[in-house]
Amino acid sequence: MTTRIKTDICVIGGGSGGLSVASGAVQMGARVVLIEGGAMGGDCLNHGCVPSKALLAAGKAAHAQRSGAAFGVAPVRPQVDFAAAKDHVARTIATIAPHDSVERFEGLGVQVLQGYGRFISKTEVQVNDTIVTARRFVVATGSSPMVPPIDGLDHVPYLTNESIFDLRECPGHLLIIGGGPIGMEMAQAHARLGARVTVVEGASALGRDDPEAAAVVLAHLRDEGVEIIENAQVQAVRGRTGAVEVEVAGGTVFIGTHLLVAVGRKPNLERLNLEAAGVETTRAGVRVDAGLRSSNRHVYAIGDVAGQGQFTHLAGYHAGVVIRSAVLGLPARTRSDHIPSVTYTDPELAQIGLTEADARSKFGAQVQVVRAEMAGNDRAQAEGKTDGFIKVMVVRSRPVGVTIVGAQAGELMAPWALAIANGLKMSAMAGTVLPYPTLAEIGKRAAGAFFSPKLFDNAVLGRFVRAVQRFLP
């Protein structure tokens, strides 16, 4: 027997973006239905951000035992219990999961329906035997690993980010197809925990990042024993569990025990029956306007499925935009220049706004690039974390892009995210007093590099100062 529900907001997808919309809307007084067919928390909690950072932390602990010689600590070969490292991953997920649970959201007043929703009209979604009619729908179904059409791949056991965290034994030799952030993070984590790792990338590894910054990361991974093969298009895959072969153009074959496919992600659209709702899509996801509204004015899309980026924090930002529009009825538009990204390798690579190449292409001679080296930071020297730099692209005294590579680059990006989001000038960073010694001082040093020519290599200012000195009592 079919049950019918009428509501104000129907959210399809219980990942970070959908949960943010649901919790915000219901606490503001809207009636909310949340539909989720998989695990609450979505990919980030269960297969992405959280488990990958937990595994990287385990790898960091193992690496610390190998790398103490510079501090007078004899390096030792760590005794890694790979299953116990995965227990740490599972505990981390389990600790965070209650915040995203059905019970918590029902306690907030959200009606949670567990199952996959599909549109049956422009204003109705069906999940199991329930039909939901809503004033506004928010599609927040996220994305899934893209599996490329490589010859033989469908006959060979392979891993994706959705299955690699289930491994209980360390791979003998992990082959990774794809040299993007996911591939590189998993390469370093597994290498540090005892696996031999080979990454095969069809173009340049970390190719979407500033090449100078990417080179710092890749050099570290290679020094730790990760084999990175670039400009090698995979032609075929064959083999079985424990003996997988990856053949690239030219005939070279790489043989390993396990295969991880990490070539990108695709939006989760298949189950939604968006045609029935009159919602237009592209290869990137749902086609949306600047307010995240689709071709059906009743339907919004946020996060990965909106085709504007695949970051948890972007989904959270999208949620705020939709709440402003769909819940409060206020005008709201997205922007993208203030959305940061981080690759959590060691060293980390963080980016916000334009890279140097993009800034020069867009602004030409107007852009000024200032930088500071990690080696010039006293805290970095004390901790032996001197590889890396910060590079700030400045136009008319305002940062339009920042690249940071080095220890805790993601943390160091925070003040620059604040600056770019709020249109602050370089003087705001230069005038900030930071505790000494901290890695964060590298940002202020970069700001100082912007003002130094104006202060210390200025003939007019020099004459003025000399005149002032003559008249001072």
What class, spelled out in words, does domain 3-40+101-144+266-327 have in CATH? alpha beta
**pLDDT average, residue stretch 161-188:** 97
Q: Name the pLDDT band for 461 (thresholds 50, 70, 90).
A: low
pLDDT at residue 241 above 90? no
Residue 182 assigned to a binding site: yes
Q: What's the 3-state SS for the chain?
A: CCEEEEEEEEEECCCHHHHHHHHHHHHCCCCEEEEECCCCCHHHHHCCHHHHHHHHHHHHHHHHHHCCHHHCCCCCCCCCCHHHHHHHHHHHHHHHHHHHCHHHHHHHCCEEEECCCEEEECCEEEECCEEEEEEEEEECCCEEECCCCCECHHHCCCECCCCHHHCCCCCCEEEEECCCHHHHHHHHHHHHCCCEEEEECCCCCCCCCCHHHHHHHHHHHHHCCCEEECCCCEEEEEEECCEEEEEECCCCEEEECEEEECCCEEECCHHHCHHHHCCCEECCEECCCCCCECCCCCEEECHHHHCCCCCHHHHHHHHHHHHHHHHCCCCCCCCCCCCCEEECCCCEEEEEECCHHHHHHHHHHHEEEEEEEHHHCHHHHHHCCCCCEEEEEEECCEEEEEEEEECCHHHHCHHHHHHHHCCCCHHHHHCCCCCCCCCCHHHHHHHHHHHHHHHHCCHHHHHHHHHHHHHCC
User: Does 153-263 match 3-40+101-144+266-327 at the fold level?
Assistant: yes
Residue 230 assigned to a binding site: no
Residue 183 assigned to a binding site: yes
Residue 17 assigned to a binding site: no
Residue 264 assigned to a binding site: yes
Q: Name the pLDDT band for 456 (thresholds 50, 70, 90).
A: low
Q: Could you state, in order of their start, the residue ranges of all structural domains in the chain?
A: 3-40+101-144+266-327, 153-263, 341-456
Q: For the whole model, what pTM was predicted?
A: 0.95
Q: What's the CATH number of domain 341-456, 3.30.56.10, 3.30.390.30, 2.30.30.90, 3.90.920.20?
A: 3.30.390.30
pLDDT at residue 267 above 70? yes
pLDDT at residue 266 above 70? yes
For the segment 354-381, what is each residue's pLDDT rounded down to a tens digit?
999 999 999 999 999 999 999 999 999 9
Residue 295 assigned to a binding site: no
Residue 117 assigned to a binding site: yes
**pLDDT average, residue stretch 303-311:** 95
Residue 278 assigned to a binding site: no
**pLDDT average, residue stretch 311-324:** 97
Residue 152 assigned to a binding site: no
Residue 184 assigned to a binding site: yes
Residue 23 assigned to a binding site: no
CATH architecture assignment, domain 153-263? 3-Layer(bba) Sandwich (3.50)
pLDDT at residue 444 above 80? yes
Residue 181 assigned to a binding site: yes
